[in-house]
Amino acid sequence: MTGPEPARARPIFSTADFALLKEAVADYTRKIADDPRSVQFANLYHRLGRLG
C-alpha cells in the first residue's frame, strides 16, 4: 500500500512574469549590443519566449 501522493510543486514564475523577464532581457540586450555577452542574453531571450 502506498501513501498519498506528494503535492505538485507550484510554479515559481507566472506566464506574466516570463513576459516581463523577456522584455527586460530584450532591453538589456539592445543596451549591450557591442558586448560579447549580448549573444548569451539573446539566447536567453529566445529560451524565455519558448517558456512563456
pLDDT digit string, tens, across residues 28-49: 999 999 999 999 999 999 998 8
CB 28, CB 48: distance < 8 Å: no
From residue 37, give the alpha-carbon distance in Å to each of 6, 27, 30.
Answer: 41, 14, 11
Q: Does the structure show a pLDDT above 90 at 5?
A: no
Where do the H-state alpha helices sit in 1-52?
Answer: 15-31, 38-51
The percentage of residues in the chain with a pLDDT greater than 70, rounded to a whole number, is 96
* Of the candidates 48, 7, 41, 43, the residue with the CA atom closest to the CA atom of residue 27: 41
